């Protein structure tokens, strides 16, 4: 079983009104040293496959087909192997 | 100047209907090996401070006061120093 952590971000060429609103809010609260706020998605999921290659394929396809909008978003992810049974690792 | 990458996640005890909807969508598309989908926020911003300590304080406060809901969300962040002038690093 693998645990995937996926980050989906708006491409830099795409305006981010939500980020601008947050930035404005932070400035109003006195945090004037903050700029360039961009807001994306963080997705965590488990993939129950035997091999890392298969898990990678599933996550990549899920990102391309459902989790991100390929026209205006980029994605990246990490995969971490999760052992369900306790055993010693070298 | 520092670049902060912030992850805001729902606490595990909180139900995530958006995650459930995405999981259902993935299953419908044939990705039946996927489970435990949880959706959070990924926020990137720049902090224009001289010291890392000051940048850390600003980001932590911003997370606590605006970017996350302390009742049902957790946050974590990384800070990366960004040099604006070109110079050699040892």
Percent of chain B with pLDDT over 70: 92
Q: In the predicted model, is pLDDT for residue A89 greater than 80?
A: no
The answer to ipTM > 0.85 is yes
Distance from CA of B35 to the nearest CA of A (A): 5
Please list every residue in chain A whose beta carbon sits closer than 8 Å to the beta carbon of residue B22. Answer: 43, 66-67
pLDDT in tens, A38-76: 999 999 999 999 999 999 999 999 999 999 999 999 999
The partner residue sitting opposite A62, judged by closest CB among B34, B48, B66, is: B34
**pLDDT of residue A88 exceeding 70:** no
Identify the band that residue B71 occupies on the pLDDT scale cut at 50, 70 and 90.
very high
Domain architecture of chain A: domains with CATH: 2-81 (3.30.1280.10)
**B73 CB-contact burial (10 Å; exposed 0-12 / middle 13-18 / buried 19+):** middle
In chain B, which among 43-72 make CB contacts under 8 A with chain A?
A: 43-49, 54-55, 58, 61-62, 65-67
Q: Which residue has the higher pLDDT, A88 or A77?
A: A77
pLDDT tens digits along B3-45: 999 999 999 999 999 999 999 999 999 999 999 999 999 999 9
pLDDT band for position B87 (cuts 50, 70, 90) = low
- Pairing verdict, β B73-81 and A2-10: unpaired
pLDDT confidence band for B59 (50 / 70 / 90): very high
């Amino acid at each position: 079983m693998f645990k995937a952590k996926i980050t989906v971000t708006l491409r830099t060429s795409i305006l981010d009104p939500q980020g601008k609103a947050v930035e404005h809010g932070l400035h109003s609260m006195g945090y004037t040293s903050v700029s360039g706020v961009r807001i994306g998605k963080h997705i965590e999921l488990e993939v129950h496959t035997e091999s890392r290659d298969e898990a990678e394929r599933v996550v990549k396809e899920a990102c391309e087909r459902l989790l991100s909008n390929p026209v205006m978003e980029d994605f990246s992810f990490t995969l971490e192997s999760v052992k369900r049974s306790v055993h010693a690792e070298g």
